[in-house]
Amino acid sequence: MWMNIAKAESFMPTQGTEIAKQVDNLYGFLLVTSLIACIILIGGMVYFAFKYKRKTDNDKTAYITHSTALEFLWSFIPLVIFLGVFGWGWYIYHQMRTMPKDALEIHVFGKQWAWEAEYKNGFKVVNDIVVPVNKDVKIILTSNDVIHSFFVPSFRIKQDAVPGRYTAVWFKADKLGDFHMFCTEFCGTAHSGMIGKVKVVTQEEFDKFLEQGSEEASLPLAQRGEKIFAVKACASCHSVADSAVKVGPSLYQRFGKEEELADGTKIVADENYLRESILNPSAKVVKGFTAGVMPAFQGQLSESELNALIEYIKELK
Ligand code: CUA
């Protein structure tokens, strides 16, 4: 019965893994036992309040000592339930934390404010992680800046991504489809924008996806820049298709234009200005924008990646 309650789609996200079903069963059990305990406790209290209500001024409180049998039962039964829940929870948690051997490993970096995933063949994607169905997948997490938290509700897995160290989670998705994934650690301005999908596809589709990844390495400079722009999640803060202002200035038709800086000086947005503004964004901030909002990319981009990005920005016309 509790299993049916927990399975109701309105209560819980779709169960995308075997572990998710186990978690929901335990959760449903907790819900139902708590409900029963609540009814017994509150119901008993209300019943006794009426039963032993003082009816006349001469009523005297009965002399009651105790009932050993009753006291034993109300201690022992909850003890058995609690120990059972502990054992059950430990059993599930142990499965979650035991990393499967021969799993498909994907490196995932959290950063302000996107998830970047890198496959063994060097293919990088952002926010949408593609995985094959019915296969053990191990996500190796870390962060480029602050603590983020990787959460896939349908898989019932959540793990912090911590700068300076690796953490890991694993799952074996048994349903095809897109599953919501997001950051559950408040990590700054666009924390709520750190959302993506885990796309569960068939093995054939997955192989095709990886192949397409190796082809991308030979793209022309500006197209590679477009790819890096997406991977580094620059689009969260800079629009490229029009002059709309997001968190940062629009980059549409920006190249070669004159910019007014916060202190009133004017500067031309040439290659060097773009370079400096990517590596050290606070150096020359355009009027009306705040220094320190954009993370510095010093040390995070190779010269060739930087060239590709600048070429891309130049072609935004
Ligand atoms: Cu990353 Cu919140």
pLDDT digits (tens, 9 = 90+) for 29-77: 999 999 999 999 999 999 999 988 888 888 887 788 889 999 999 999 9
Answer yes or no: are the C-beta atoms of 222 and 308 closer than 8 Å: yes
Q: Is the pLDDT of residue 291 over 70?
A: yes
Question: Whole-model pTM?
Answer: 0.66
Residue 141 Cβ inside 6 Å of ligand 1? The answer reads no
pLDDT at 5 (0 to 100): 53
pLDDT at 10: 57
Per-residue confidence (pLDDT) for residue 9, from 0 to 100: 53
Instruction: Give the number of other Cβ atoms within 10 Å of residue 282's Cβ.
Output: 12
In eight-state DSSP terms, residue 286 is: B
Selection from 195, 193, 208, 229 nearest residue 311 by Cα = 229
CA angle, corner 281, sides to 275 and 286, nearest 5? 100
- Strand pairing category for 128-132 and 195-201: parallel
Atom of ligand 1 nearest to the CA of 184: 2
Q: Which residue in the block uniquely carries the two structure tokens 């996107």? A: 114
Cα–ligand 1 centroid distance for 191 (angstroms): 4
Task: State in Å: Cα 145 to ligand 1 middle.
Answer: 10
pLDDT at 304 over 60: yes
Cβ atoms of 147 and 162 within 8 Å: the answer is yes
Q: What ligand 1 atom has the least distance to the C-alpha of 147?
A: 1
| d(CA 186, ligand 1 centre) in Å | 5
Residue 118 CA to residue 87 CA, distance in Å, equals: 37
Ligand 1 contact via 193 beta carbon (within 6 Å): no
C-alpha angle 215-219-223 in degrees, rounded to nearest 5: 125
CA of 205 to the centre of ligand 1 (A): 30
The one-letter code for the residue type at 61 is T
Amino acid at 57: D
Phi, psi at residue 257, to the nearest 5°? Answer: -85, 160
Does residue 84 have a pLDDT over 70?
A: yes
Is ligand 1 within 6 A of the CB of residue 183?
A: yes
Q: What pLDDT was estimated at residue 64? A: 82
Average pLDDT over residues 175-199: 91
112 versus 155: which is more confidently predicted? 155
Average pLDDT (217-246) is 83
- Determine the Cα–Cα distance for residues 224 and 220; give it in Å rounded to an integer: 6
Residue 110 CA, closest ligand 1 atom number: 1
Distance CA 286, CA 241 (A): 19
Cα–Cα distance between 199 and 202 in angstroms, integer?
A: 10
Distance of CA 293 to the CA centre of its chain: 22
Please state, rounded to an integer, the average pLDDT across all residues of the chain: 87
Q: How many CB atoms lie within 10 A of CB 252?
A: 16
Q: Which of 45, 49, 7, 44 is nearest to 24 (CA)?
A: 7
Q: Whose CA is nearest to atom 1 of ligand 1?
A: 148
Q: What is the 168 CA–ligand 1 centroid distance (Å)?
A: 17
Helix (H/G/I), strand (E/B), else coil: 233: coil
Distance of alpha carbon 226 from alpha carbon 155, whole angstroms: 32
Tell me: the pLDDT tens digits for 207-224? 888 888 776 666 777 888
Atom of ligand 1 nearest to the CA of 111: 1
The encoded tokens of residue 104 equal: 């498909």
Contact (Cβ atoms closer than 8 angstroms) between residue 151 and residue 183: yes
> What's the pLDDT at 185?
93
Q: What's the CA-to-centroid distance between 92 and ligand 1, angstroms?
A: 27
Span 123-140, pLDDT tens digits: 888 888 999 999 999 999
Using left for φ > 0, alpha for ψ between -120 and 50, and beta otherwise, residue 62 falls in beta
Rounded Cα–Cα distance for residues 213 and 260 (Å): 40
- On whether the CB atoms of residues 212 and 223 are closer than 8 A, the answer is no
